[in-house]
């Protein structure tokens, strides 16, 4: 049995220094970070803390 979860992540950026970057460059960097956040498993959960689940799908889309 698989379970599907959808989370909405809102990120607001404010330039601190340097030249301005294009919006698509910012979005690409954030997308890379989110795609890299896939650990492959979720473990140490459940009543006994010993349940584990494999991540079978990981999608990152810009709204």
Structure tokens at 29: 């960097």
- Residue whose structure tokens are 């709204």: 63
Q: 6 near 41, Cβ under 8 Å?
A: no
- Provide the residue ranges of all domains of the chain, joining segments of one domain with +: 23-54
> Phi, psi at residue 42, to the nearest 5°?
-120, 120
pLDDT in tens, the chain (63 residues): 889 999 999 999 999 999 999 999 999 999 999 999 999 999 999 999 999 999 999 999 888
Q: Is 45 helix (H, G, I), strand (E, B) or coil?
A: strand
**Strand residues in 1-63 grouped as ranges (E):** 41-45, 51-54
Structure tokens at 28: 């690409």
Instruction: Report pTM.
Output: 0.78
């Amino acid at each position: 049995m698989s379970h599907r979860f959808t989370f909405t992540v809102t990120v607001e950026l404010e330039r601190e220094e340097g030249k301005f970057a294009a919006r698509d460059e910012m979005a690409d960097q954030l997308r890379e970070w989110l795609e890299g956040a896939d650990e492959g498993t979720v473990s140490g959960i459940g009543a006994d803390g010993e349940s584990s689940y494999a991540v079978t799908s990981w999608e990152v889309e810009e709204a």
